[in-house]
Amino acid sequence: MTTPKFPENFLWGGATAANQLEGAYNEGGRGLSVQDVMPKGLMTAPTLEPTEENLKLKGIDFYHRYKEDIALMAQMGFKVFRLSISWSRIYPNGDDAQPNEEGLQFYDDLFDELHKHGMEPLVTLSHYEPPLNLARNYRGWIDRKVIGFFETYARTVFERYQDKVKYWLTFNEVNSIISAPANGAIFPEEMEVTLADKWQAAHNQLVASAAATKIAKEINPEMQVGCMVISMPTYPMTPKPKDQLAVRDFMNENYAFTDIHVRGEYPGYLKRHLREQGIEIKFGENDAAILKEHTVDFISFSYYVSLVQAHDSETYQSGEGNIFRGLENPYLDSSEWGWQIDPIGLRLVLNDFWDRYQLPLFIVENGLGAKDVLIEDGAGSFTVEDDYRIAYLKAHLQQVGEAIEDGVELLGYTSWGPIDFVSMSTAQMSKRYGFIYVDRNDDGEGSLKRYKKKSFNWYKEVIGTNGASLYDAE
Ligand code: BG6
């Protein structure tokens, strides 16, 4: 067996989202985002106004502490840092005529800080945080007008940051909108929403993603634009052909979104799926042409769990996950939140995407959410002995190495939540992913002080050896 080698210039780093770490929800001219009224997580009902229990309002105060945090990432040797721009810092209501200069300046400073430390920013335009006004005064992404607002926002940030940001992602986990409509500023608790509405919103986001790609290339062809999906490699529960068909149907939920982003048209299986549900997507006059002509440069994805499907799924125990759930896999262990751990699934999904598209790939989320315990390190400071996180990441990265050996072209790997922050699905602080511990608990109490965990030095070595240390004898 050969020992895998990571490519030179491989982009090692970490990934974040504005709503989960920035805080400062009402500072710097920022408008409210849907997350400010979702204190219990993305999949739960919104409140009327922001409420104090909502941990995201303060996050980990990255807005004020980003210099200290980026310096820590630099100590680990990060080559890339994934972040999202909070749309409502730039256009507070989403439909404003003029952008908010203070918001633009904030990201200018942040990008400068990253470059100062030799880090490439990887920027998501929309990470589950559209302006609240779009939900309350439009019907979110169901309304076609939102495509235009998004184009304006994208144009503003592309023009402004074209010399500072090379890698862009349009929508985080764009394939989640049917299951997680808040992603599209749609609150089913507040408005009547049909399945057809959700698919229309998905279509509108797909068109907006292609339109943003077009705008980016017009402004500066050097900019690279990618799509971003939740990946979900799926196994059949048994070798029954009907189970394999159930797998195929389920995986198509993922492929539909990458197929459209890469090939520029609706695949036959999706057209059939929509037809059989009586759903007719309203195409604007130029939609088909925009989709066809402005496809992405690379594919990025999150990977946490693999799934299992069966044609008679009701006879089995269901598994856990944040948005998509399959059936329990008896051969896998689970995290404390019941997410099944499957490093080989990551190798499989890398190969699947590569075989299907031959476009460069980017793993932009992967990691273990766990309850950490802060202990004294014997030298007067505190740390976390997170061997479980090291084991998780090591096993996954070894499979990434295997996929690279298989011939997959991979731009980089950004582990999710390099510093602890508020969870997306459960809105907890105690679900921690970081190499850096942040002193804040689920009641919102804590000094916000940062402490290096054991995994901090481990990841530093992985990056410093460009992955070679993953294969050191124990
Ligand atoms: C991804 C999201 O689905 O999963 C992130 O893009 C999220 O925003 C991550 O934080 C982990 O999920 P959770 O629910 O554990 O925070």
Tell me the DSSP string of 312-357.
Answer: TGGGS-B---SS---B--TT--B-TT-PBP-HHHHHHHHHHHHHHH
Residue 82 CB–ligand 1 contact under 6 Å: no
Best residue among 302, 334, 372 to mutate for probing ligand 1, ranked by most atoms within 8 Å of CB: 302
Q: Give residue 424 CA to ligand 1 midpoint distance, Å.
A: 5
- Spatial distance between the Cα atoms of 248 and 235, rounded to a whole number of angstroms: 9
Q: Is 424 in the pocket of ligand 1 (CB under 6 A)?
A: yes
Task: Decide whether any atom of ligand 1 lies within 6 Å of the 302 Cβ.
Answer: yes
Structure tokens at 342: 């499957």
Q: How far is the CA of 283 from the centre of ligand 1 (A)?
A: 31
| Ligand 1 binding pocket includes 370 (Cβ within 6 Å) | no
Rounded to the nearest whole angstrom, what is the distance from the C-alpha of residue 416 to the centroid of ligand 1? Answer: 8
For the CA of 41, the nearest atom of ligand 1: 14
pLDDT confidence of residue 120? 98
Among protein residues, the one with the nearest Cα to ligand 1's atom 9 is 424
Q: Measure the CA–CA gap between 302 and 468, rounded to whole angstroms.
A: 23
| pLDDT tens sequence across 338-379 | 999 999 999 999 999 999 999 999 999 999 999 999 999 888
> Mean pLDDT, 10 residues at a time, over the chain (474 residues)?
92 98 98 97 94 97 98 98 98 98 98 98 98 97 98 98 98 96 95 96 98 98 98 95 96 94 98 97 98 98 96 83 81 94 98 98 98 92 97 98 98 98 96 98 97 98 98 86
- Judge contact between 111 and 161, C-beta under 8 A: yes
Beta bridge partners of 452: 436
Q: Which pair of structure tokens corresponds to residue 149?
A: 């607002």
- Model-wide pTM > 0.75: yes
Which three-class secondary structure string do you get for 196-225? HHHHHHHHHHHHHHHHHHHHHHHHCCCCEE
Distance 423 CA to ligand 1 centre (A): 6
Q: Which atom of ligand 1 is nearest to the CA of 339?
A: 15
Span 155-193, pLDDT tens digits: 999 999 999 999 999 999 999 999 999 999 999 999 999
Whether the CB of 369 sits within 6 Å of ligand 1: yes
C-alpha R_g of the chain: 21
Would you call 365 a catalytic residue per the annotation?
A: yes
Atom of ligand 1 nearest to the CA of 425: 14
Ligand 1 atom 7: residue of nearest CA: 424
Among candidate residues 308, 198, 299, the one with its CA nearest the CA of residue 251: 308
Residues 6+ apart with CB under 8 A from 250: 232, 234, 307, 309, 326
Q: Angle of helix 145-161 relative to helix 101-116, nearest 10 degrees?
A: 50
Q: Which atom of ligand 1 is nearest to the CA of 367?
A: 11
pLDDT in tens, 409-447: 999 999 999 999 999 999 999 999 999 999 999 999 999
How many angstroms separate the alpha carbon of residue 304 from the centre of ligand 1? 9
* Closest ligand 1 atom, residue 323 Cα: 3
- pLDDT of 284 reads 97
Residue 416 beta carbon below 6 angstroms from any ligand 1 atom: yes
Closest residue to atom 8 of ligand 1, CA basis: 424
Q: Which residue has a Cα nearest atom 5 of ligand 1?
A: 424
Q: Which of 113, 173, 328, 402 is catalytic?
A: 173
Residue partners of 192: CB distance under 8 A and separation at least 6: none
Which residues have a Cβ under 8 Å from the Cβ of 378 and sit 6 or more positions away? Answer: none
The yes-or-no answer on residue 173 being catalytic is yes
The Cβ of residue 179 has, within 10 Å, a number of other Cβ atoms equal to: 16
How far is the C-alpha of 303 from the C-alpha of 281, rounded, in Å? 29
Check: CB of residue 233 under 8 Å from CB of residue 363: no
| Ligand 1 pocket mutation, candidates 170, 341, 416, 442, criterion most atoms within 8 A of CB | 416
